[in-house]
Structure 1
Amino acid sequence: MANSIHINERIRENAENLSAALQSHMLKVFAPDARKELRRFSAGEAAELLGISTSFLRKLHFDNRIPDVHTTPGGRRHYSAEDLLAIRKELESTAKSPGAYLKGRRPGDKVQVLSFLNFKGGSGKTTSAIHTAQRLALKGYRVLAVDIDPQASLTTLFGYRPEYDFLESGTIYDAIRYEDPLPLSQIIRTTFFTGIDLAPGGLILQEFEHETPQALIHNVQPAFFARMAMALQEVEADYDVIIFDCPPQLGYLTMSALCASTGVMITVVPNMLDVASMSQFLQMSAELLDVVANAGASMEFDFLRFLINRYEPSDGPQQQVVAFLRQLFGNEVMVAPMLKSTAISDAGLTQQTIYEVERSQFHRNTYDRAVDSLNLVNDEIESLLQQAWGR
Structure 2
Amino acid sequence: MDSAIEDGLADKLPVSLVSSRVTMEDITALGERLEIQTARLKEYLFSGTAKKAPEFNATKLAELCGRSRDQMLRLLDRGLEPGLSDGIKGKADGGSERNRRFTLSEARAWVKATRKPGRPPGLPGATITVANFKGGVSKTVTAMSTAQALSLKGYDVLCIDYDPQGSMSALFGLTPGFIPESETVLPLMMHATSEIARDTLQESIQATYWDGIDLVPASHAIAQGEFYLPLRQLEANNRGEEFKFWDVLNKALDAGIREQYDYIIIDTPPALSYMNMTTIWAADALLLPLPPEGIDFVSSAQFWTMLSELSTGLALGQKDFAWVAAVPSKVNHQRMYTKEILKWMQGSYGDMLTQTEIPDTAAVGMEGAKYSTVYDVERYAGSAKTLSRARDAYDKLVDEIDFMTRRKVWQIPATEQE
TM-score (norm: length of structure 2): 0.86
Deviation at 1:232, TM superposition (A): 0.6
The percent identity for this pair of structures is: 27
Query: Matched residues in 2 for 1:274 and 1:349: separation?
Result: 22
Query: Matched residues in 1 for 2:374 and 2:39: separation?
Result: 23
Q: Does 1:118 align with 2:132?
A: yes
Alpha carbons of 1:124 and 1:360: their partners in 2 closer, same or farther (altered >3 Å)?
closer
Q: 1:68 aligns with which of 64, 79, 86?
A: 86
Q: Do the aligned residues in 2 keep the contact of 1:148 with 1:201 (CA within 8 Å)?
A: yes
Alpha carbons of 1:14 and 1:390: their partners in 2 closer, same or farther (altered >3 Å)?
same
Residues 210-262 of structure 1 show CA distances to partners (whole Å, capped at 9, x for unaligned) of 11221121126432101000111122111111111011000111100110101
Counterpart secondary structure, 1:178:
coil
Query: Matched residues in 2 for 1:365 and 1:161: separation?
Result: 32
Which amino acid in structure 1 is aligned with residue 372 of structure 2?
A: Q
Residues 332-361 of structure 1 show CA distances to partners (whole Å, capped at 9, x for unaligned) of 111101110110110112211100112443
Unaligned runs of 5+ in 1: 92-99
The aligned residue for residue 243 of structure 2 is 222
Q: How many residues align?
A: 378
Greater Cα offset, 46-55 or 149-158: 46-55
Report matched runs for 1:1-391 at 5 Å: 3-30=19-46, 32=48, 35-65=50-80, 66-71=84-89, 72-73=94-95, 75-91=98-114, 100-103=115-118, 105-166=119-180, 168-179=181-192, 180-181=197-198, 183-219=200-236, 221-234=242-255, 235-292=257-314, 294-296=315-317, 298-388=318-408, 389-391=410-412
Q: Do the aligned residues in 1 keep the contact of 2:325 with 2:353 (CA within 8 Å)?
A: yes
Query: Matched residues in 1 for 2:281 and 2:95: separation?
Result: 53
Counterpart secondary structure, 1:145:
strand
Deviation at 1:31, TM superposition (A): 5.4
Counterpart secondary structure, 2:404:
helix
Alpha carbons of 1:64 and 1:266: their partners in 2 closer, same or farther (altered >3 Å)?
closer
Which amino acid in structure 2 is aligned with residue 68 of structure 1?
A: D
Query: Matched residues in 2 for 1:7 and 1:120: separation?
Result: 29
Deviation at 1:182, TM superposition (A): 5.3
Query: Matched residues in 2 for 1:13 and 1:173: separation?
Result: 24
Q: Do the aligned residues in 2 keep the contact of 1:176 with 1:231 (CA within 8 Å)?
A: no
Counterpart secondary structure, 1:78:
coil
Alpha carbons of 1:35 and 1:222: their partners in 2 closer, same or farther (altered >3 Å)?
farther
Which amino acid in structure 2 is aligned with residue 14 of structure 1?
A: L
Superposed CA RMSD in Å reads 1.9
Q: Do the aligned residues in 2 keep the contact of 1:144 with 1:242 (CA within 8 Å)?
A: yes
Deviation at 1:83, TM superposition (A): 0.9
Counterpart secondary structure, 1:79:
coil
Q: Which has the larger radius of gyration?
A: 2
Which amino acid in structure 2 is aligned with residue 309 of structure 1?
A: S
Unaligned runs of 5+ in 2: 1-14, 413-418
Greater Cα offset, 117-126 or 39-48: 39-48
Query: Matched residues in 1 for 2:74 and 2:243: separation?
Result: 55
Query: Matched residues in 1 for 2:200 and 2:47: separation?
Result: 32
Query: Matched residues in 2 for 1:136 and 1:364: separation?
Result: 22
Greater Cα offset, 2-11 or 21-30: 2-11
Q: Do the aligned residues in 2 keep the contact of 1:344 with 1:353 (CA within 8 Å)?
A: yes
Q: Do the aligned residues in 2 keep the contact of 1:175 with 1:183 (CA within 8 Å)?
A: yes
Query: Matched residues in 1 for 2:21 and 2:391: separation?
Result: 48
Which amino acid in structure 2 is aligned with residue 246 of structure 1?
A: T
Greater Cα offset, 378-387 or 129-138: 378-387
Query: Matched residues in 2 for 1:53 and 1:176: separation?
Result: 50
Greater Cα offset, 306-315 or 71-80: 71-80
Deviation at 1:328, TM superposition (A): 1.6
Q: Do the aligned residues in 1 keep the contact of 2:85 with 2:102 (CA within 8 Å)?
A: no
